[in-house]
């Protein structure tokens, strides 16, 4: 079956780094995404990485892609309370690039 897997919860102390992991299904997926959902809101794209890249950095965010293991991670440096949210990874499969497949979401809780 098609399952994008994530752990459900992550708790970190303010100022520490957070690492959210995801295992996706298809090593030929074109794009891989990280979305953020704040309480009571829809999802917003945080960042994405094209499949021919290994790493992408954007300010406090670092995305690492291991295509061999079909593993995607999102590292948030200097995590703040405003980073508390649900984080979804998603893949764009090659057979239908318009239909993203989402993971279950990881709820990140940041405590002082």
- Contact footprint for other proteins (CB under 8 A): 4, 8, 30-31, 33, 35, 40-45, 48, 88, 92, 97-100, 102-105
Please state the closest distance from residue 103 (CB atom) to other proteins, in A.
Answer: 6
Rounded Cα distance between 84 and 82, Å, is 5
Please state the closest distance from residue 66 (CB atom) to other proteins, in A.
Answer: 20
Please state the closest distance from residue 101 (CB atom) to other proteins, in A.
Answer: 8
3-state secondary structure of 70: coil
What residues contact 96, with CB distance under 8 A and at least 6 apart? Answer: none
Task: Tell the residue number behind the tokens 């949210």, with chain if given.
Answer: 85
Compare residues 58 and 98 and give the one whose CB is closer to other proteins. Answer: 98
Cβ neighbour number for residue 51 with a 10 Å cutoff = 16
**Is 60 within 8 Å of 82 (Cβ atoms)?**
no
Task: Tell the residue number behind the tokens 């690039």, with chain if given.
Answer: 97
Compare residues 35 and 72 and give the one whose CB is closer to other proteins. Answer: 35
Please state the closest distance from residue 35 (CB atom) to other proteins, in A.
Answer: 8
Compare residues 8 and 55 and give the one whose CB is closer to other proteins. Answer: 8
């Amino acid at each position: 079956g098609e399952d994008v897997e994530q752990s459900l919860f992550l708790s970190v102390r303010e100022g520490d780094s957070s690492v959210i992991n995801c295992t996706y299904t298809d090593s030929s997926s074109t794009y891989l995404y990280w979305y953020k959902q704040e309480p009571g809101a829809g999802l917003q794209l945080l960042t994405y990485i094209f499949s021919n890249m290994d790493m992408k950095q954007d300010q406090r965010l670092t995305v690492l892609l291991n295509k061999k293991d079909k593993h995607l991670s999102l590292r948030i440096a200097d995590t703040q309370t405003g980073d508390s949210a649900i984080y979804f990874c998603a893949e764009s499969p090659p057979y239908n690039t318009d239909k993203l497949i989402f993971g279950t979401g990881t709820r990140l809780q940041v405590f002082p």
